[in-house]
Structure 1
């Protein structure tokens, strides 16, 4: 085996860290493992970088610096963890997964002006647009591709060239700390020196402000509100108490447990797209069904600056999305609360560009905000950010 030119390899890492200082901590956390069995360079899930001495000898320092950043990007973006969450049928072809991951990384590296060795892949090589996640690229890649193997730190499958005996490793807890530190360094770099590639921007935002599945959040908020409403008890004489028979001439009321009611106020102003609204409404009503609130307990109000339709629905397809004018969701909330069957929970489905009630109404109010970076409602509105469903976080 050719002896590893460690000085050249370390010079390349130093160059990568100096040119992209926000990556320095992650780059220097990698342990170098020389190997004649690895084709070029690859990382395992323990942050060990396996390096081919022949590859180092044949590759100029600027390109080696690009490869250093490419490999650490697999680990920072938790590619092996994300690969493990793919559907079982997609996990079988780990080299195809690797190429999809390389597409996710390399579009950012090339946009950032980094030199990469010949043979590197990019989304354009497959007629795909830049800026997507590897999960989005994977279904569109052909089945038979040239082999790329960046190691288990990328696709999650252990390679025969990976060794671990006596070699320092980064624990999962340390890896998460490195990710957060790197994301914070990227944010500081943006503030002081300028913009990052879009993929790195989205990744840093996701690490520092993680996107929680809005369905889980909404289901939890509704479930809590429904449990609160369902737990309320009141007295009724419709069904006398069983103790009445023991007291001659006295009718005692029994306790009843009311069924929770939910109102959905839909923003149908001109700023809202009808297709997005229909899709979001279908998902919200699906969440309600999961929680146990069926159609006959759900009232839908279509509202811009006025309430146009009020209907009890059993499916999203039954809703008429009338409107298209100005925006004032206060009108819809007031109408919902003024109904004879006053709701226990009001969900406002909006892009957020609306006035809100000046004070907290006497029910649970949940703002389900659609779109990218919607304005925040008052602090007392329970907020769920549905976001742009066509995009994902890196």
Structure 2
């Protein structure tokens, strides 16, 4: 380990105990192949040439930056998201916390006041939507990947000048760099070891312990407290909730019309579990473009799985942005091959419910996958609704009716 890293890590232990305690968990390794620094939650890689180009306070800030990537779980949660855009989103989420803690970051760190307090998943959705819009307008390309089209007109003394994406060019594992810009001070890489669940769980415990130790010293800023609460909160398996919701919405009851044959020979006439055929099951996919492809793919897989287990009379899948853009209907026993999501406009949730009413469809349940940022129907429908939110519920636009579950893939 370079002695400068060792020295600044010790300084963090003394001056910033939360960051210092967690920095000790990362094994520093020299990696000339990377552009700046990187972490996967286990190792801390650094380019010695880049290390030599920044001062001691900036080294300390970079250590804090990498620590927050691991503390926030960024090393485990990328899924099949675009890695460059995911790195941008993660940087936007943590850089303000590093700066507010009094540390210094080299170059032009990604900071945007729109994203303060948002999770990396929420920021990613915004950046992905902005990139799609820019590409539609003929302005897409590598230089637009940071997606900061709105913030570019807002003065931000912390962000510096120039293209926001240029500050994060080192986000690929190969340490690429955007045209005309300086590299990010550090990447977040995904950990792919077989012990990934164990590493993730151990980091949650370590974050909680480091926070308690820092609180005892009075050295835990409010932004860090909010981040830690989000980082260590238990994750609910949305797939299990979705299947539980569908099962509960399906008609199942005990009936004497079909006695339980297991007890007839004993002279006992007991009711048997009666499961009448499930009616129409409806799933709505938000096609506004704010729900990224990986989540759509996983949601489609769950639709298929529930269709197999419940065998509804009809499986109805609607795509909707501000209006229904596609409707697929599959009869029981018919092969299900879902078409790609169709849409790409704004977001409103009223048209699917109006469509069901117009076509006199009274489903046993509706499951709606969405980022929740749109207009809800004014009236509650006569059937149960599950809103599968692609943003954390703490910051979602809560539905006026139905049940909500957080879908984070």
Q: With structure 2 as the length reference, what TM-score do the two structures score? A: 0.49
1:346-357 aligned at under 5 Å gives the runs none
- Given the alignment of the two structures, is residue 182 of structure 1 paired with residue 211 of structure 2, yes or no? no
Q: Secondary structure at the match of 1:233?
A: strand
Q: Secondary structure at the match of 1:116?
A: coil
- Given the alignment of the two structures, is residue 133 of structure 1 paired with residue 119 of structure 2, yes or no? yes
* Larger displacement relative to structure 2 (70-79 or 201-210): 201-210
Taking structure 1 as reference, are residues 110 and 222 closer, same or farther at Cα in structure 2, changes over 3 Å only? same
**One of 26, 33, 37 as aligned partner of 1:41:** 37
Q: Secondary structure at the match of 2:68?
A: helix
- Given the alignment of the two structures, is residue 104 of structure 1 paired with residue 126 of structure 2, yes or no? no
Q: Secondary structure at the match of 2:257?
A: strand
Distance 1:194 1:294 in 2: 59
Q: Secondary structure at the match of 1:8?
A: helix
Distance 2:198 2:191 in 1: 21
**One of 44, 48, 67 as aligned partner of 1:53:** 48
- Given the alignment of the two structures, is residue 154 of structure 1 paired with residue 154 of structure 2, yes or no? no
Distance 2:271 2:118 in 1: 60
- Given the alignment of the two structures, is residue 234 of structure 1 paired with residue 260 of structure 2, yes or no? no
1:64: how far off?
0.8
- Given the alignment of the two structures, is residue 70 of structure 1 paired with residue 70 of structure 2, yes or no? no
Q: Secondary structure at the match of 1:97?
A: helix
1:151: how far off?
6.2
Distance 2:196 2:109 in 1: 29
Q: Show the counterpart of 1:357.
A: none
Q: Secondary structure at the match of 1:38?
A: coil
1:261: how far off?
10
**One of 11, 16, 35 as aligned partner of 2:12:** 16
Taking structure 1 as reference, are residues 319 and 234 closer, same or farther at Cα in structure 2, changes over 3 Å only? farther
Distance 1:51 1:15 in 2: 18
Distance 1:253 1:33 in 2: 69
Q: Secondary structure at the match of 2:117?
A: coil
Distance 1:100 1:348 in 2: 31
Q: Show the counterpart of 2:404.
A: 386
1:20: how far off?
2.9
Deviations 1:217-240 (A, max 9, x none): 25315526858x34x231379xxx
Distance 1:67 1:183 in 2: 18
Contact 1:97 1:155 (C-alpha < 8 Å) held by counterparts:
no
Deviations 1:291-317 (A, max 9, x none): 57889xxxxxxxxxxxxxxxx954879
* Runs of 4+ residues deviating >6 angstroms: 252-256, 292-295, 315-319, 346-349
Deviations 1:225-268 (A, max 9, x none): 858x34x231379xxx9xxxxxxxxxx99978264999xxxxxx
Q: Show the counterpart of 2:180.
A: none
Contact 1:98 1:154 (C-alpha < 8 Å) held by counterparts:
yes
Distance 1:209 1:172 in 2: 18
Q: With structure 1 as the length reference, what TM-score do the two structures score? A: 0.50
Contact 2:255 2:273 (C-alpha < 8 Å) held by counterparts:
yes
RMSD, aligned α-carbons: 5.0
Distance 1:31 1:95 in 2: 24
Taking structure 1 as reference, are residues 294 and 219 closer, same or farther at Cα in structure 2, changes over 3 Å only? farther
Q: Show the counterpart of 1:257.
A: 274
Taking structure 1 as reference, are residues 104 and 49 closer, same or farther at Cα in structure 2, changes over 3 Å only? same
**One of 225, 229, 234 as aligned partner of 1:210:** 234
Gaps of 5+ in 2: 132-139, 144-164, 174-186, 262-268, 280-302, 315-360, 367-375, 387-391, 396-401
Contact 1:22 1:189 (C-alpha < 8 Å) held by counterparts:
yes
